[in-house]
Structure 1
Amino acid sequence: MFKIIPNKKNIGAEITGNVKKISKKDFKFFFKALELYGMIFFRRQKLNSSDYIAFAKHFGKLAKYPRLKGLSTKYKQITVVQRKATDKGPSFGEQFHTDSIYTKKPPRFTMLYSKLVPKKGRANTEFSSQYLAYDYLSKSIKNKLIKVKGRYSSEGPISVTTRERVKEKGRKIEELKSIHKIIKKINSKNTIYCSPGHLVGFSPNLKNSEKVKKQLFKHQVKKKFQYSLEWEKDQLAIWDNRSMLHQATPFKGNRIMHRITIL
């Protein structure tokens, strides 16, 4: 039996229960929770790589991350997101973004499973609800953005945070670019689908586009839209990239997360 505990303002929710003991009905429950809250997480889950992949496949087709090699030949779909105490630059993903938006078909969901984490309260992942961000947009900005698309690049501002890992485990790829609508509808709810870490412009270009971009970024990540997830070992989080921005918080130390993205 799974129980849901929504966070404040319904920005994400905790679900209690063992994810290895699930039914088709449970997955319908998880999908509905993701639609409502944007992110769900489970504490104290003992999963090996096969368990993790089996669980992820219930949510859709697993994607390959274009910038890093997989965990192993057998587990190519698992990407190791690691921070080392010796790293000098920012943490992987240390800027608000949505994953792989620079691809033609970005992943709908992202999962993170914690293998090694520092003391609780450090190395959090912060989420910002784009359902709430859309609801609080002014009518004039909504009207301005409704027919506008964003232009995205894998070499956007956030690319600096991947350099340490790309040097170790990276793939040689050319710059990836994409164009996607900024305002999306998920069933009956509108959301802002725009990644500050990857946006390089608008299509068609807007008057005072740089000013609009700065205003939009500032609005998307207001504190009243945010929830900070504190990691424990063996914790699993899943979020919908269409309705949640996320970022790693700065810290010094060691952390290992296993990531899967789902189309």
Structure 2
Amino acid sequence: MIKVIPNKNNIAAEIECNLKSLTKTDITKIKSCLIKYGLIYFRNQRLTSKEYLKFSKIFGKPAFYPRLKGLSKKYPQITVVQRKSTDKGPNFGEQFHTDSSYTKRPPKFTMLFSKIVPKKGLGNTDFSSQYLAYKHLPLKLKNKLKNLKGTFSSNGPIANTTIERTKEKGVLKKKLVAKHKIIRSVNGKKTIYCSPGHLIAFNKTLKNFKNLKNILFKHQTKKKFQYSLEWEKDQIAIWDNRSMLHQATAFNGNRKMHRITVQ
């Protein structure tokens, strides 16, 4: 039996259960919650890397992240995202974005498993529901965006947050670029798919590109669409990259996460 605890405005939900002993019914409900809420998280989960990877396969095929090396030869799909107290500069992912939007087949889902966390309330991950962002998008803007595609680049604005991590773990230096529709549907629900950290152009020549981009970004990240996830040790979160933006928050201290993306 699992217990689902939705947050305000149905932005994210906590699920109480033991991920080591899920039934088929539990798995179906967890998948449904992920689509409905965009982000789900589980406290007090003591999984080995093998068990963590097995759990990720419930949602699809674990992907290889093109920017960092894997945890080990045995677990190349798990990457380590770590912030040390001695690190300088911005945190990895410290700007609203959706993961790997610069690839032709971006991952549907991202998972983080907390191994080391700072004091509670520090090192949060902020999320912004793009279901709600689309729902409250003015009709004029909906019409302007419905046929647009965005060009997304690995060298976009967020690239400066990867510098320190890639020094440690190695990086694919080749620039990656891809185009995707700005407005899309996820299981029949409309969402805005636009990564502020990676967008560099629209497919149509627009004289007011910068103005439209700024208006869209400001709307996508309104506080009323947001939820800030406080991390605890042994906590797993998984979110839908098609319907959620996320960002790391600034902090000083030690934090270590094991990350998996799922196609």
Normalising TM by the smaller chain, what interval? over 0.9
Read off the aligned partner of 2:144 and give its amino acid letter.
K
Query: Match of 2:60, as an amino acid?
Result: G
- 2:131 matched to which residue of 1? 131
Contact 2:98 2:241 (C-alpha < 8 Å) held by counterparts: yes
Structure 1 residue 188: deviation in Å? Answer: 2.2
The residue correspondences of 1:165-184 to structure 2 (distance < 5 A) are 165-184=165-184
Q: In the alignment, what sits opposite 1:12?
A: 12
Runs of at least 5 residues in structure 1 that lack an aligned partner in the other structure = none
Equivalent residue, structure 1, for 2:206: 206
* Corresponding residue for residue 64 of structure 1: 64
- 1:232-257 CA distance string (max 9 Å, x none): 00000000000000000100011000
**Residue 206 (structure 1) shift:** 2.6
Quote the sequence identity (%).
Answer: 65
Q: Deviating runs (4+, > 2 A) in structure 1?
A: none
Compute the RMSD of aligned alpha carbons: 0.7
CA contact (8 A) 2:117 2:256 kept: yes
Cα distance, 1:86 vs structure 2? 1.1
**Conserved in 1, the CA contact under 8 Å of 2:68 and 2:172?**
no
**How big is each residue's C-alpha offset from its partner over 1:133-163, in whole Å with a ceiling of 9 and x where there is no partner?**
0011100000000000000000101011110
Whole-angstrom distance in 2 between the partners of 1:109 and 1:173: 24
State the number of aligned residues: 263
1:45/1:206 CA distance change after superposition, 3 Å = same
Letter in 2 for 1:90: P
User: In 2 relative to 1, CA 188–172 (structure 1 residues): closer, same or farther, beyond 3 Å?
Assistant: closer
Answer yes or no: is 1:35 the counterpart of 2:20. no
Q: After TM superposition, give the deviation of residue 171 of structure 1 in Å.
A: 2.5
Matched, 1:224 2:224: yes
Tell me, in whole angstroms, the C-alpha distance in 2 between the residues paired with 1:230 and 1:165: 22
Residue 192 (structure 1) aligns with: 192
Which structure 2 residue ranges, 5 or more long, are not aligned?
Answer: none
Deviations 1:201-236 (A, max 9, x none): 101223411100000000000000000000000000
Residue 199 of structure 1 aligns with an amino acid whose one-letter code is L
Asked if 1:55 is matched to 2:48, the reply is no
CA drift of 1:186 comes to 1.1
Deviation of 1:26 after TM superposition, in Å, equals 1.4
- TM-score normalized by structure 1? 0.99
Tell me the residue number matched to 1:78: 78
Alignment of 1:95-174 (within 5 A): 95-174=95-174
Q: Distance in 2 between matches of 1:34 and 1:192?
A: 17
Aligned residue for 1:15, secondary structure, equals strand
Q: Please state whether the residue corresponding to 2:18 is helix, strand or coil.
A: coil
- Report the alpha carbon displacement of residue 172 of structure 1 after superposing the two structures with TM: 3.5
